[in-house]
Structure 1
Amino acid sequence: MRWLVTGANGFVGRALVRQLLEHGLPGGRTLTQLAITDLALDDSPTDPRLLPLPGDLTQPNTWAPAFSTPLEGIFHLASVPGGTAEAQPTLARVVNLDATQSLLDHCRAQTERGCAPPRLVFASTIAVYGAALPPEVNDDTPAAPHMVYGAHKLMAEIAVAHASRRGWLDGVSLRLPGILVRPPAPTGQLSGFMSDFIRELSHGRPFTCPTSPGATTWASSLPNVIHNLLHAAVVDAKRLPPSRSLLLPTLRFSMAELAEAIGRVHAVPAAERVRWAPDERIEQLFGRFPPLRTFAAEHAGFVSDGDAETLVRQSLALA
């Protein structure tokens, strides 16, 4: 089995690569080679199954080495995320749309050479729903992206679904929620404060939160997201909706509830150490999430963390 991970040096990508090398794919499916690509990769890979392919995915010759031998599947994680996409929309378009279309073209070329269509697991985002959310979000909620990042991801979802219908690939797009906890580094993601919230309070340190205590959001732990990405690699296409896009099961909680869960898990007075300093833009983007229902994803076997305390425990497990 030969797979490719794009964005392999990112927060999710690094954890996914580790999991693939240590455990393979669900069902005991082992890897013979794992091609990984990003602008820069760690030096001297120690696992002989790794094929490092550092490079810029916006350049036409970057994809060729990954497809030199047929791929069984691809995890496409590479992107220009939210805040950076807003500040640099042209760069975001080139990476999020043009490079993705180039990937789809290579999948089509592989299939037209008589090889099996590869499974493509595309990392989309809940940002496709926009900022003005209805009282409940479910499988029938229309996408109405407000930010550049969400618009690009929705366009790519449509391209993945179209290519799947044509038989050029076998795609599934996962609308990922906020993922916790991200490392303390500048990533351009406006939701990064949630990772800082868990990290700082878990260590008993005070934290100034840019939302109100009642702000509600959706989030999943990194281990939970990795589990769902791996499940997407093997799930039967008959269990997927025609759109090939899924809103993943995830937790909804208020920031005050998250602080209380941190306190219970780590035995620290977390709720007492939060200073609430609401920022209207942050509150609007990340603090007004309604209840959600994810029947299609649950039917296909995808799962959430279960409860806030489990999310807190798992969120630092792979950090």
Structure 2
Amino acid sequence: MRVLITGGGGFIGAHLADLLRERGELGGRRIEALALADQALPETAGETAIRGDLTQPAVMAKVATFRPDVIFHLAAVPGGASEADYALGRRVNLDASLSLFEALAASGTRPTVVYASSIAVYGTDLPDLVTPRTPLRPPLTYGAHKQVCEILLADFTRRGLLDGRSVRLPGIVARAKTSAGLSSAFMSDILHALKAGETFTCPVGPEATAWWMSAQRCAENLVHAAVMDASRADPGGAWPLPVLRLSIGDIIDTCSARYGESRRGLVSFQPRPEVEAVFGRYPRLDDASARALGLRDDGSADDLVRRALGEIN
């Protein structure tokens, strides 16, 4: 089996690549070749590095030449950066994704494509329970492009050209502190600060709720999405990954219990309405269909924190 990860040098891509190297197989089939596509990649013995971005024809040609059986499409310009630079966001998040789908479809092998979509497709002013029937109203260009790519991948799947499955990623933690362009970076930053015993100014209030997942659990879910029997559920469908719905207060409680009660006094609050409106008011999520397919959350707030900060696998 030949496997490609776009965005393979990124936060989630690196976790996914490590997991695939560790397992050496996917769905019971040995991984014979692993390729990572990204702007800059180190040399790794036995792997193919495709340097550059997918907007470059030469890079897309290398992807086509590799002829992957399974593709994890993670490459993207994050929400804040794509909102600030519409042209860049469109080129990478929309145009390059369509070009990738077309190049893969042209191979005639009907490869499996796991597309990393986002809960950004849902929007704001959500009902008390988000269900599969909840209308999608992305509040940012990033979410709009993600929704369009879900539709495109479903259409390629309907036409029998690809075996697509889109998964909507929640807030993934804990990213490095230099998460430039990522509006939800505070979700990772507060974890790093509380573990290290550093002060932190939070841009949302203590009651603000979000949907959380560790990067390690996200990688495991992406791998499972590639091999799960999605055809019986919804060919070319899109599923929100199962989440832990936690408030900032819950995170502070969990970190204080683990790292010491003194952590509580390290957090101050300066809520920014534009951040809280998008990242601090997530309601309950009906993720039953995803759970039925074997996708999982982190189990508990304590396990989320420990897994996100590399204390457990």
In structure 2, do the counterparts of structure 1 residues 190 and 222 end up closer, same or farther at CA, with 3 Å as the change threshold? same
Q: What is the CA RMSD across the aligned residues, in angstroms? A: 1.5
1:142 partner letter? P
- Structure 1: segments with no counterpart, 5+ residues: none
- Judge conservation of contact 1:15–1:318 (CA < 8 Å) in 2: no
The correspondence for 1:226, drawn from 195, 219, 239, is 219
- Judge conservation of contact 1:206–1:274 (CA < 8 Å) in 2: yes
The correspondence for 1:94, drawn from 72, 79, 91, is 91
Query: Per-residue deviation at 1:307?
Result: 1.4
User: In the alignment, what sits opposite 1:3?
Assistant: 3
User: In the alignment, what sits opposite 1:78?
Assistant: 75
Query: Per-residue deviation at 1:26?
Result: 4.6
Which moved further from structure 2: 230-239 or 286-295?
230-239
Distance 2:262 2:235 in 1: 47
Distance 1:228 1:71 in 2: 20
The correspondence for 2:190, drawn from 175, 179, 197, is 197
Distance 2:252 2:228 in 1: 35
Query: Per-residue deviation at 1:51?
Result: 0.3
Query: Per-residue deviation at 1:191?
Result: 0.4
Say whether 1:58 aligns with 2:55: yes
Superposition pairs of residues 130-149 of structure 1, within 5 angstroms: 130-149=123-142
The correspondence for 1:296, drawn from 272, 284, 289, is 289
Q: What's the CA shift string for 1:104-128, capped at 9, x where partnerless?
A: 11111111xxxx3100000000000
The correspondence for 1:158, drawn from 132, 146, 151, is 151
Distance 1:25 1:210 in 2: 42
- Judge conservation of contact 1:125–1:153 (CA < 8 Å) in 2: yes
Q: What's the CA shift string for 1:178-222, capped at 9, x where partnerless?
A: 100001114201100110100100122221111111111111011
Distance 1:67 1:26 in 2: 21
Q: TM-score, normalised by structure 1?
A: 0.94
Q: TM-score, normalised by structure 2?
A: 0.96
- Judge conservation of contact 2:230–2:293 (CA < 8 Å) in 1: no
2:307 partner letter? Q
Superposition pairs of residues 238-249 of structure 1, within 5 angstroms: 238-242=231-235, 244-249=237-242
2:34 partner letter? L
User: In the alignment, what sits opposite 1:33?
Assistant: 33
Q: What's the CA shift string for 1:281-304, capped at 9, x where partnerless?
A: 111111111111101101111010
Distance 2:311 2:12 in 1: 10
Say whether 1:252 aligns with 2:245: yes
Distance 2:67 2:56 in 1: 20
Aligned residues: 312
Q: Secondary structure at the match of 1:105?
A: helix
In structure 2, do the counterparts of structure 1 residues 243 and 66 end up closer, same or farther at CA, with 3 Å as the change threshold? closer
Say whether 1:117 aligns with 2:110: yes
Identity of aligned residues (%): 43
Distance 1:25 1:130 in 2: 37
Superposition pairs of residues 267-286 of structure 1, within 5 angstroms: 267-286=260-279
2:12 partner letter? V
Which moved further from structure 2: 26-35 or 154-163?
26-35
In structure 2, do the counterparts of structure 1 residues 165 and 318 end up closer, same or farther at CA, with 3 Å as the change threshold? farther
In structure 2, do the counterparts of structure 1 residues 190 and 69 end up closer, same or farther at CA, with 3 Å as the change threshold? closer
Say whether 1:174 aligns with 2:167: yes
Query: Per-residue deviation at 1:131?
Result: 1.7
User: In the alignment, what sits opposite 1:314?
Assistant: 307
- Judge conservation of contact 1:223–1:318 (CA < 8 Å) in 2: no
Q: Secondary structure at the match of 1:53?
A: strand
Distance 2:231 2:132 in 1: 17
Query: Per-residue deviation at 1:268?
Result: 4.5
- Structure 2: segments with no counterpart, 5+ residues: none
Query: Per-residue deviation at 1:306?
Result: 1.4
